[in-house]
Amino acid sequence: MIKHAVGLMIGSLVAMNGVADEQLEQGKKVFTQEAQPSCTICHTLSDAGSAGAIGPNLDELAPSVEQVQNAVRSGVGVMPAFADSLSSEQIEAVARYVASVTGGE
């Protein structure tokens, strides 16, 4: 019984990790390709291979998921709002991706 429960827990963690990996892949795609204009034009983010100089360096800023979501939805300074052009799922994915690769989680 205990072995079965442990097996189920491990299986659930593996499945959740797969979902998390897919979401991070989707977030990277949003960051590099799907958002228009592309996030890479303005932001430096090593994992995405971008060296933008208009917006903050995300590697240094290490924003949280919530900070990225708020900035992407509403815009900040010269950064436009993306609430009308990206889905909630895309915004969630890009926020998790940025926070994950910068250590801002």
Domain for residue 4, yes or no?
A: no
Determine the structural domain holding residue 83 and report its residue range: 22-102
Domain of residue 64, CATH code: 1.10.760.10
Give me Rg for the CA atoms of the chain. Answer: 16
CA distance 32 to 11: 32
Q: Stretch 72-77: mean pLDDT, rounded?
A: 96
Q: What are the residue ranges of helices labelled H in 1-105?
A: 2-29, 39-42, 58-61, 65-74, 88-102
Domain for residue 46, yes or no?
A: yes
**pLDDT > 70: percent of the chain:** 82
Reported pTM: 0.81
DSSP state of 98: H
Domain for residue 7, yes or no?
A: no
Domain for residue 2, yes or no?
A: no
Residue 19 binned pLDDT confidence (cut-offs 50, 70, 90): low
Domain count, the chain: 1
Q: Which residues contact 90 (CB under 8 A, 6 or more apart)?
A: 26, 30, 34, 35
More confident residue, 41 or 13: 41
Domain for residue 14, yes or no?
A: no
Specify the pLDDT at position 8: 44
Domain for residue 17, yes or no?
A: no
